[in-house]
Structure 1
Amino acid sequence: MQDLNSPYNLLVILGPTASGKTTFAAHLAKRLQGEIISADSRQIYKGMDLGTGKDIEDYTIDGYTIPHHLLDIVDAGYKYNVFEYQADFFKAFEKVKNNKAWPIMCGGTGMYIESVLKKYKLINVPVDQPLRDSLQGKNLQELTSLLGKYKSLHNQTDTDTIKRAIRAIEIEEFYLQNPGIVVELPDVKPLIIGVNIDRDARRKKITDRLKKRFDEGMVDEVKQLIDSGVAPDDLIYYGLEYKFLTMHVMGELTYQQMFDKLNVAIHQFAKRQMTWFRGMERKGAHIHWVDAFDPMEERVEKVIQLMYPKTY
């Protein structure tokens, strides 16, 4: 139950992919009587389970399933965005508080996390067809370079396809042309905990986990999504697993090519996530780092002490 003796009203657990942050957040939620609000840009989609690493069993601790929010909330094929996430997060945040529980944000999508912590002034950005037309023909590297020139720091960890990069530029250009946007959002007083994992250990865990997900049927999952009516281009839009798996299913990559390219892409993605989090620190965010391999009880106790500094 949330305690007014704490100076915080939101616990944030962040870290790169394969760092074990969900299991850590679940143990904290059990100890605190909390509820988890996901901050993952792909796990919001129904039916995209293995490809997003949506390990639902991680939410169950000693037979108790932690209440969780913002998983499986939209259909595969839909292009969910950070504007919608920010609105959905604050709805979940108020719901958890009304339940007298601790809101625990958990995820690795930097833009989603910062949209809440920095209370970005977000609205539903319309399509700018002339801008899109002007960007046609540019490759991903060129688009990423253009995106980096905007003063506002956009999440480049998720812009790993041309369509996503063009949409990111479209959003940045809209805010540049409309600086007077006013958005009223609830106050958050976050305690930010980062799960740090040694690079070599992270790389091994990513590759081992990827092999396991293939064994569990990740290719079949993509085939089922396509058979259900989700367009291959829409799956490719999501990047990472769904980009390469779809290319394999459509006959553009062999199995080995798909595995090798995807394995490299996930390692690069994890590196970009850490770059994003270090960037948050440079901009003033205070992230308390814990080691992914420290005993769970020690990590949980460390967080409790940070949450209630006057008690310890």
Structure 2
Amino acid sequence: TATGKTRFGLQMAKKFKGEIVSADSRQVYVGMDIVTGKDIPYNLKPITSNLQWRDRKLKYYLIDSAKIWLYDVVNPNEPFNVAFWKECADLVIADIFRRNRLPIVVGGTGLYLKSLTVGQMSQSLSKISILPNPQLRSKLKDRNVAYLFNYLNRIDPARAAVLNISDRANPRRLIRAIEISLYSKFPSPESGEGSRGEVGSGVSYLTLGLTAPREELYRRIDLRVGHRLRHGAEAENQHLIAKYGGGFPSFTASGYRAFQKPDIVARWRGLEHAYLRRQLTWFKRQPDTHYASKNRNFSPHNCFHRHFHIPDLVYRPDQRYPSHALYFHNSHVRPQSGCGSLGALGSA
């Protein structure tokens, strides 16, 4: 956090004819703008696209002639998780490719980024995205495990066959397995059917982590907290609490949590510093990431022309698809030398 990812992403969008796909777990919420740092120009309204996700159309903002997707996907009182984000990202990235432009995924929510680059997550994500079925649960809640297992075995023998002894004796897990099996969009893993329409097959990834010394990032965070407070963060929080009542996962963002106790400034800064340290731990464990140091000489031109000698990154209009899509996240891990290399996603 606080490395200037979005600004850099917008510069890259201009250079490579790209569009931004936000990978931030708090910026998906409507009205959570100042505290989460969307940095949308005043009075700029989102544009509704033709991309249909579940019961709604996805929107984008047009900033500096570049589209920014996956802001304002759901209201703060609605459920949202990594599986839902992955569904949205797949739709958007496929659409960007179809229009011969470059997807540039920008964000610091590590699990969101990982969901795009690690194919093995697809099966578990598909299960997460299946919402509970209250009617089914009410119907089955008083049934014993023998009945539940036989029911599952009748509708999905493949799924029933792979359950272990513990799962077969657990009514809650059996009901969840039935719930998943009845949701026809997601067949059992053993059926051989994959989740179609996902970005991943035939796509390569190039990932860049922006870095800076920890103390410098702490300084930027502290300045940013002050800036957001001066520009209406407290009023935004009060408005959202009055409208939605709080108590939803969306309100666990550090900025909103800071308003729950006295000494807002110190608490907000401390929570953001802790978040930065968690990001460091996460991204240190992620392979194939190349780091660019955000020092005073940093510029997109310097990064790409002095450090990233990757011919495939040059966008060629005659290609059916762009050759790569870029993924930017933040970190303060120091690269081995200078700016490091680059990392990205591209279509085969």
Give TM-score scaled by structure 2 length.
0.61
Alignment CA distance shift 1:180-1:304 (3 Å): same
Aligned 1:21-36 pairs, distance under 5 A: 21-36=5-20
Confirm whether residue 267 of structure 1 aligns to residue 273 of structure 2.
yes
Q: Distance in 2 between matches of 1:36 and 1:183?
A: 24
User: 2:255 — aligned with what?
Assistant: 241
Amino acid at match of 1:308: D
1:50 equivalent among 25, 34, 43: 34
1:214 equivalent among 212, 226, 229: 229
Alignment CA distance shift 1:310-1:77 (3 Å): closer
Q: Distance in 2 between matches of 1:191 and 1:113?
A: 12
1:193 equivalent among 205, 208, 225: 208
Alignment CA distance shift 1:309-1:23 (3 Å): closer
1:233-263 Cα offsets, whole Å, 9 max, x none, are 1267433111222x1xxxxx22x2x222221
1:78-125 Cα offsets, whole Å, 9 max, x none, are 221111011100100011111110110010000000001103221225
The CA deviation at 1:269 is 0.4
1:301 equivalent among 305, 312, 315: 305
Aligned 1:6-155 pairs, distance under 5 A: 17-56=1-40, 64-119=64-119, 120-121=121-122, 122-123=125-126, 124-126=129-131
1:250-304 Cα offsets, whole Å, 9 max, x none, are xxx22x2x222221111110111121111112xxxx1111011233121243576
Amino acid at match of 2:289: I
User: Cα RMSD (Å) of the superposition?
Assistant: 3.0
Q: Distance in 2 between matches of 1:88 and 1:24?
A: 23
Contact 2:77 2:250 in 1 (8 A): no
Contact 1:236 1:244 in 2 (8 A): no
Give TM-score scaled by structure 1 length.
0.68
Residue-pair matches, total? 235
Q: Distance in 2 between matches of 1:264 and 1:194?
A: 23
Contact 2:10 2:64 in 1 (8 A): no
1:144-174 Cα offsets, whole Å, 9 max, x none, are xxxxxxxxxxxxxxxxxxxxxxxxxx99xx8
Contact 1:43 1:72 in 2 (8 A): yes
Q: Distance in 2 between matches of 1:103 and 1:200?
A: 32
Alignment CA distance shift 1:47-1:237 (3 Å): closer
Q: Distance in 2 between matches of 1:217 and 1:87?
A: 32
User: 1:183 — aligned with what?
Assistant: 195
Query: What residue ranges of structure 2 are gaps of 5+ in the alignment?
Result: 45-62, 135-171, 181-187, 316-348
User: 1:152 — aligned with what?
Assistant: none
Alignment CA distance shift 1:190-1:30 (3 Å): same
Contact 2:10 2:20 in 1 (8 A): yes
Aligned 1:269-288 pairs, distance under 5 A: 269-281=275-287, 286-288=288-290
Q: Distance in 1 between matches of 2:133 and 2:285?
A: 29
Amino acid at match of 2:25: S
The CA deviation at 1:76 is 2.0
Q: Distance in 1 between matches of 2:21 and 2:305?
A: 21
Q: Distance in 1 between matches of 2:100 and 2:313?
A: 21
Query: What residue ranges of structure 1 are gaps of 5+ in the alignment?
Result: 1-16, 130-169, 248-252
